[in-house]
Amino acid sequence: MTEHGSGDGLELSSLQDLYQQVILDHYRRPRNKGPLEGATHSITLNNPLCGDVIDLMLRLDGDRITDIHFEGKGCSISQASASMMGALLSGRTIHDAIGIMDTFTRMLHGDAEAAADTELGDLRALVGVSKFPVRVKCALLAWNCLEEMVGPEAPGR
Amino acid sequence: MDTPDSTAVAAGTSAFDIDRVRADFPILGRLVHGHPLVYLDNAASSQKPYAVLEAVDSYYKEIHANVHRGAHELSIRATEAYEEARAVVADHIGAASASEVVFVRGTTEAINLVAETWGAAHLAEGDEVLLTKMEHHSNLVPWQMVAGRAGATVRYVDVAPDGTLVMEDYDRLLSNRTRLVAVTHVSNTLGVVNPVAEIVRKAHDAGALCLVDGAQAAPHMQIDVQALGCDFYAFSGHKMLAPTGIGALWGQRRLLDHMPPWQGGGEMISEVTLEGFHTAPVPHKFEAGTPNISGAIGFAEAVRYLQRIGFDAIHRWEAELTAYALDALAAVDGLEIFGPLHERVGVISFRYADIHAHDLATILDQRGVAIRAGHHCNQPLMEHLGVDATARASLYFYNTRSEIDALVGALGLAARLFGVA
Domain co-membership, B318 together with B368: yes
Q: Measure B409 CA to nearest chain A CA, in Å.
A: 7
CA atoms of B361 and A135, how far apart (whole Å): 11
CA atoms of B233 and B114, how far apart (whole Å): 10
Check CB contact under 8 Å for A75 and B418: no
Residues 6+ apart with CB under 8 A from B395: B40, B42, B318, B321, B322, B325, B345, B346, B347, B348
Question: Which of B39, B417, B418, B420 to probe by mutation at the A interface, max A CB count within 10 Å?
Answer: B417
Q: Measure B40 CA to nearest chain A CA, in Å.
A: 14
CA atoms of A152 and A104, how far apart (whole Å): 17
B336 within some domain: yes
B46 within some domain: no
CA atoms of A106 and B17, how far apart (whole Å): 51
Domain co-membership, B397 together with B260: no
Last residue of a domain, one of B307, B337, B359: B307
Check CB contact under 8 Å for A1 and B357: no
Domain co-membership, B255 together with B390: no
Q: How far apart are the first and last CA of chain A?
A: 62
CA atoms of B44 and B41, how far apart (whole Å): 6
Confidence of residue A7 (pLDDT cuts 50, 70, 90): low
Q: How far lies B84's CA from each of B66, B80, B96, B99, B101, in Å?
A: 15, 6, 15, 11, 12
Instruction: Identify the H or E element spanning B147.
Output: helix B141-150
Three-state secondary-structure class, residue B257: helix
Domain co-membership, B118 together with B75: yes
CA atoms of B376 and B17, how far apart (whole Å): 32
Instruction: Identify the H or E element spanning B21.
Output: helix B18-23
CA atoms of B212 and B190, how far apart (whole Å): 17
Domain co-membership, B341 together with B374: yes
Nearest Cα neighbor of B391 from B344, B417, B353 is: B353
Last residue of a domain, one of B257, B289, B307: B307
Q: Name B306's bridge partners.
A: none
Domain co-membership, B303 together with B340: no
Three-state secondary-structure class, residue B58: helix
Domains (range + CATH), chain A: 32-150 (3.90.1010.10)
Judge whether B371 and B40 are in contact, CB under 8 Å.
Answer: yes
For each of chain B's 421 residues, which pLDDT tens digit applies?
344 443 344 444 456 899 999 999 999 999 999 999 999 999 999 999 999 999 999 999 999 999 987 789 999 999 999 999 999 999 999 999 999 999 999 999 999 999 999 999 999 999 999 999 999 999 999 999 999 999 999 999 999 988 999 999 999 999 999 999 999 999 999 999 999 999 999 999 999 999 999 999 999 999 999 999 999 999 999 999 999 999 999 999 999 999 999 999 888 888 888 888 888 999 999 999 999 999 999 999 999 999 999 999 999 999 999 999 999 999 999 999 998 888 889 999 999 999 999 999 999 999 999 999 988 888 888 888 888 889 999 999 999 999 999 999 999 999 999 999 7
Classify each residue of B249-275 as buried b or exposed e, where b means 16 or more C-beta atoms within 10 Å of its C-beta.
bbbbeebbeebebbeeeebbbeeeeee
Closest CB to B362: pick one of A4, A52, A135. A135
Domain co-membership, B131 together with B27: no
In this structure, are strands B276-279 and B14-16 parallel, antiparallel, or unpaired? unpaired
Check CB contact under 8 Å for B359 and A11: no
Instruction: Look at residue A6 in the predicted model and tell me its pLDDT.
Output: 47
CB-CB neighbors (< 8 A) of B402 in chain A? 1-2, 4
pTM: 0.92
Judge whether A20 and A40 are in contact, CB under 8 Å.
Answer: no
B192 within some domain: yes
**CATH number of domain containing B380:** 3.90.1150.10
Closest CB to A51: pick one of B388, B400, B406. B388
Domain co-membership, B397 together with B295: no
In this structure, are strands B178-184 and B128-132 parallel, antiparallel, or unpaired? parallel
Instruction: Look at residue A8 in the predicted model and tell me its pLDDT.
Output: 57
Judge whether A73 and B388 are in contact, CB under 8 Å.
Answer: yes
B298 within some domain: yes
Judge whether B177 and B147 are in contact, CB under 8 Å.
Answer: no
Instruction: Look at residue B10 in the predicted model and tell me its pLDDT.
Output: 42
B332 within some domain: yes
Domain co-membership, B123 together with B208: yes
Tell me the average pLDDT across A73-82.
96
Q: ipTM score of the complex?
A: 0.89
B193 within some domain: yes
Three-state secondary-structure class, residue B233: strand
Domain co-membership, B160 together with B83: yes
Check CB contact under 8 Å for B363 and A135: no
Closest CB to B419: pick one of A9, A12, A24. A24
Q: Measure B364 CA to nearest chain A CA, in Å.
A: 10
B241 within some domain: yes
**CATH number of domain containing B208:** 3.40.640.10
Per annotation, catalytic residue among B190, B337, B373, B377: B377
CA atoms of A36 and A38, how far apart (whole Å): 6
Nearest Cα neighbor of B137 from B392, B379, B387 is: B379
DSSP-assigned states of every residue in chain A: --------SHHHHHHHHHT-HHHHHHHHS-TTBS--TT-SEEEEEEETTTTEEEEEEEEEETTEEEEEEEEEE--HHHHHHHHHHHHHHTT-BHHHHHHHHHHHHHHHTT-HHHHT-GGGGGGGGGGGGGG-GGGHHHHHHHHHHHHHHHSTTSTT-
Domain count, chain B: 2
Tell me the average pLDDT across A45-74.
92
B44 within some domain: no
Domain co-membership, B299 together with B317: no
Closest CB to B418: pick one of A19, A50, A53. A19
Cβ–Cβ pairs < 8 A, chains A and B: 78
Domain co-membership, B95 together with B230: yes
Question: Which domain range does residue B160 map to?
Answer: 53-307
CA atoms of A30 and A26, how far apart (whole Å): 5
Question: Known catalytic residue: B377?
Answer: yes
Q: What is the DSSP letter of B159?
A: B
Judge whether A73 and A79 are in contact, CB under 8 Å.
Answer: yes
Residue A10 has pLDDT above 80, yes or no: no
Last residue of a domain, one of B252, B280, B307: B307
CB proximity B411 to A under 8 Å: no
